Structures are given as C-alpha cells and as structure tokens.
Structure 1
Amino acid sequence: MAELPKTSSVPVVRADFGENVVWERVKVEIAEPTEEGFGADVEFVEDRTLNGLSEAVIANSYPHDYPHRYRHPVLFVVDTIAASTSGHPVLVINLNAWVDAEPFRALARQVQSIQNNLSLANMDYLEFARSTDADGIFRGF
C-alpha cells in the first residue's frame, strides 16, 4: 500500500521518472491558473516506488479510505501514460470510502476544475468520472 504525505493540499504524485522535463511541464500545466483565474490547491510529490507500475496497480495501492486515513477524497497521479501522451492525461483516483467509482483520466489542465469543485463540494467525483470521453479522459464540460 502506497503512503501519501500529510498535506493540506491535494497530492499530485509523480509515478514516472523517465524525463524530468516532462514532469516539470505537467507541473506547470496543473499549477497555471485557468482562464477564469482558478488555481489548483495541490502539492507535488514524488514516489519512486510507483515507477513503472500499471494504472491498475497504482490505483489499487490506495484504498478508498477518506476521511479516515486520507485528508483528501481524490489523488492525481502522473504515471507513464500521462507523461507520454499529448495533454498529459493524469490518473484521477477516488479515495472516498462512500463513493464506489473507478479511476479515470483527466487532462492536466483540468486538475484545477476537479480539485476546486471537489473541495467546495460543488460537484462530486462521479460527475467528473461520468463526463469522460469515449477514451476515458475528462477534457472539461
């Protein structure tokens, strides 16, 4: 089971260590405010134990145990797929014990929307998960 740092911000976990320039680019895409001026309240962390693991293994490394074990109901992971695909579709993992939902992917530029809306309870995880395209990627509403 993977450990998350105790942060006040939602973790964005690096799970691909192929190229530092890609990691830095994804961090900029996530941290940059949206056109409406919204920023993501996230903390970037690295976890080399996840390097090279599949999406399923990474997702299963984090049990649905919010609010008991985790401070946040969601986790973003920059894995090999995110690092090597246009738009950097990060893996979005549900941690909420009361929500039965599979992970999905979201473009890095959509992390702000997801994080902001979940933290304000404007929307829930399922609304984003159900709004993915045919390829399983959330590109916005």
Structure 2
Amino acid sequence: MPLPQPDDLTSLVLRTDFGDEGAWDAVKAALDAAGEYRHATYVSQLRFAGVGVQTLLAEEDAADEDDQIVYMFLADAVTMNDPAHPLLAVDLSDEPGRTFRVTARWFPDISANLSIANMDFADFADAADGSGTFRGFDEG
C-alpha cells in the first residue's frame, strides 16, 4: 500500500507513536503556530504505529512511481516525548533513509523549500548540528 500523499504545497507528517493523544495534539499545534500558512498534511493511522524508516522505505519502493513521495516527517516517540517536539525528517529519494530532526520553529521553512523543490533534503541535513537537529543555517 503506498504511503499517504501530502496535500499540495504541504509536507507529510506521519504519526508513528500512539501513546499520548495530548502529545500528538501539542505537536500539531506547535507546527500550525510556527508558520503563517498551512505546511503539514497530518496522517494518524494505526497501521503506522511503531513503523521504522526502513519499513517506510520498503513501502515507498514498492509503490508505483506516480505514488512515490520524495521526503516525509515522522512524529515518533522522540517527537512525542521531547518538549520541543522535533520531527524526524526522512529522505525517500536522493539518499533514501537519510534523516535529521527539526523543531517546529524551522518546519515551515523546510517544508516550503522542499515542497517547491527550491532546496534539496541534503541542504538541510548537511546543516544539522552535532545532535542531528536542524536549527537554521549558520549566519557566521
């Protein structure tokens, strides 16, 4: 079964942790408050409970080319339990399986640039800090 498709000019945010409904609501609220426009297509389907990156890559590889997506964001256990709710960004195309984390503050910038192919996944992943989290581009 192909992965869900994001709405036009938004990014797919796929919930994989179902332990705390309030945390999921907080993640969505933080993402929605971070930008002026809607940047996320939220998917909360139990079939994705606990699913890992490799399983998602295999599912994406099996999909028809027209149904494939280039990247996605996971709301996993780390996202739900960390007060900053950092999503796990996952490359599904250029470097399948490459990941980095992103907080709500930077999600709209990344989503907008990736959804219009203005920048590549690697541009953001390469700028992640030592913890693997994107916190903006170094202005120095």
Shorter-chain TM band: 0.7 to 0.9
| Over 2 Å off, 4+ runs | 5-10, 38-41, 52-70, 119-122
Identity of aligned residues (%): 27
Bigger CA drift: 126-135 or 102-111? Answer: 102-111
Unaligned runs of 5+ in 1: none
| CA 1:94–1:40: 2 relative to 1, 3 Å | farther
Equivalent residues of 2:15, 2:44 under 8 A apart: yes
CA shift for structure 1 position 4: 1.4
Confirm whether residue 114 of structure 1 aligns to residue 119 of structure 2.
no
Unaligned runs of 5+ in 2: none
Q: RMSD over aligned Cα, in angstroms?
A: 2.6
Q: Secondary structure at the match of 1:116?
A: helix
How many pairs align?
Answer: 135
Cα distance in 1 for partners of 2:64, 2:109 equals 20
Structure 1 match to 2:3: 3
Q: Secondary structure at the match of 1:128?
A: helix
CA shift for structure 1 position 51: 1.6
Residues 80-135 of structure 1, C-alpha deviations (whole Å, 9 max, x = no match): 11111231111111122xx1251221113321111111123332110001011111
CA shift for structure 1 position 62: 3.6
TM-score (norm 1): 0.78
Residues 28-59 of structure 1, C-alpha deviations (whole Å, 9 max, x = no match): 1111244xxx4342211112122234455455
TM-score (norm 2): 0.79
Structure 1 match to 2:37: 39
Cα distance in 2 for partners of 1:111, 1:131 equals 14
Structure 2 match to 1:94: 91
